[in-house]
Amino acid sequence: MKFNFSRFLITGGCGFIGSSLVRNLIKRNNISIINIDKMTYASNILAVEKTNHLYTHYKKDINDINFLRNIINDFNPDCLIHFAAESHVDRSIDNPSEFIETNIVGTYNLLNTTYAYWRELNKKNKDRFRFMHISTDEVYGDAYQLPSFDEESPFLPNSPYAASKASSDLLVRSWNKTYNFPSIITSASNNYGKWQFPEKLIPLTIKKALLGEKIPIYGDGSQIRNWLNVEDHIEGIINVLSKGKVGERYNLASSTELTNLEVVETICKTLDALAPSENGLKYSELITYVKDRPGHDKRYSLDITKIKNELDWLPKKSFKEGIYETVEWYLNNKDWLFNKTKEKYDGRRLGQLK
């Protein structure tokens, strides 16, 4: 899909979802990209190897206001896509202050600095500029025994992570309503795919299974999530950037809702087929039920009628196809999977109240 932008400033572009967008854009012609990523534990420089002279990464924090001001004014972006965020719920339970500092204060600093830049543009460039904020289905809270949430559903976040994202969403909305700042918000369901840091359910399950370790299932595993392939998510973001209306919010999700247990069992069956265990056991025999997470939402579910009808977007990849490709990718990149974990995360459980 073509779009009327050529100078992208991306925050969090070495993260799982942000790096997928960077890889997509690098393949296109005549697009300049600046990626601001402070390289936290979940960031990965390998996911966005520099293959284009128009791409530059800065290892900087979005709370470095002087740097932000200088780089925005020097680069003259025509759009800014904001991925940078702390995103793991368990970590937000243990240390909510990091989530408040990055997700709320960082978004405020980015908004304020970008608004000052935008205000000085000429009318043509003002009209073209977009600030896209990438958010999550978790801001809406628990959809258990409720209809899927649409864009008008109220925010009812139940974790420090979800609350921090809801707060940042409201800041972005307020800059549009108060200052007429050209922002758009997208909320996506659970993403999966290659290069995801192995603290999340799918890569963690793959890693644990391959190491012959117990695969933890929180509670009884009946929590329901909607699963969206990260490449479909990126196409949705590009669609919204190209055709979405300023000041609007768009939900992005697939039609696949599965319990956490069903997801883990699917991964185990896929591994049984692609990489049978040496001892002849089924990987599902490693599944172990552990104490549930505090405040664990039972179901997340998004209604995507708006983006389907207004922007003609639907995800293309089935979960069956996507999970097979994902498992296959991790099998082909086991060194990264194990070394990344060894360097940044020892696999122990987080987010338990003492």
Establish if 13 belongs to a structural domain: yes
* Inter-helix orientation angle 106-119/160-179, to 10°: 20
Closest of 132, 147, 108 to residue 187, by C-alpha: 132
Q: Would you state the pLDDT for residue 350?
A: 52
- Domain presence at residue 246: yes
The verdict on residue 275 lying in a domain is no
Structure token pair of residue 241: 């950037």
pLDDT at 104: 98
Residue 39: exposed, middle, or buried by beta-carbon count in 10 A (0-12, 13-18, 19+)? middle
Q: Is 64 a catalytic residue?
A: no
Q: Is 153 within the bounds of a domain?
A: yes
pLDDT band at 131 (very low <50, low <70, confident <90, very high): very high
Is residue 348 in a domain?
A: no
Q: Which residues pair with 81 in a beta bridge?
A: 10, 132
Give yes or no for residue 167 having a pLDDT over 80. Answer: yes
How far apart CA 35 and CA 18 sit, in angstroms, is 9
pLDDT class of 344 with cuts at 50, 70, 90: low
Determine, yes or no, domain membership for 78: yes
Number of domains in the chain: 1
What is the average pLDDT value for the chain, to the nearest integer? 94
The pLDDT of residue 325 is above 90: yes
Q: Helix or strand or coil: residue 137?
A: helix
Annotated catalytic residue, options 161, 192, 218, 250? 161
Catalytic residue among 61, 78, 86, 138: 138
Report the Cα–Cα distance between both ends of the chain, in Å, rounded.
50
- The answer to whether 283 touches 272, Cβ cutoff 8 Å, is yes
Nearest to 199 by CA among 186, 211, 216: 216
The pLDDT tens digits of the residues spanning 12-61 come to 999 999 999 999 999 888 999 999 999 988 888 888 876 678 999 999 99
pLDDT of 199 = 87
Task: Give a yes or no: residue 14 inside a domain.
Answer: yes
Catalytic-residue membership of 330: no
CATH number of the structural domain spanning residue 92: 3.40.50.720
State how far the Cα of 83 lies from the Cα of 69, in Å rounded to an integer.
18
pLDDT value, residue 353:
54
Q: State residue 44's pLDDT score.
A: 86
pLDDT at 149 over 90: yes
Model confidence at 98, in pLDDT bands (50, 70, 90)? very high
Is 137 inside a domain boundary? yes
Q: Measuring CA to CA, which residue among 131, 242, 251 is closest to residue 182?
A: 131
Residue-number span of the structural domain to which 53 is assigned: 7-190+230-253+300-316
Check residue 291 and give left, alpha or beta (phi > 0: left; psi -120 to 50: alpha): beta
What pLDDT is recorded for position 94?
A: 85
Mean pLDDT computed over 162-183: 98
Answer yes or no: 137 catalytic: yes
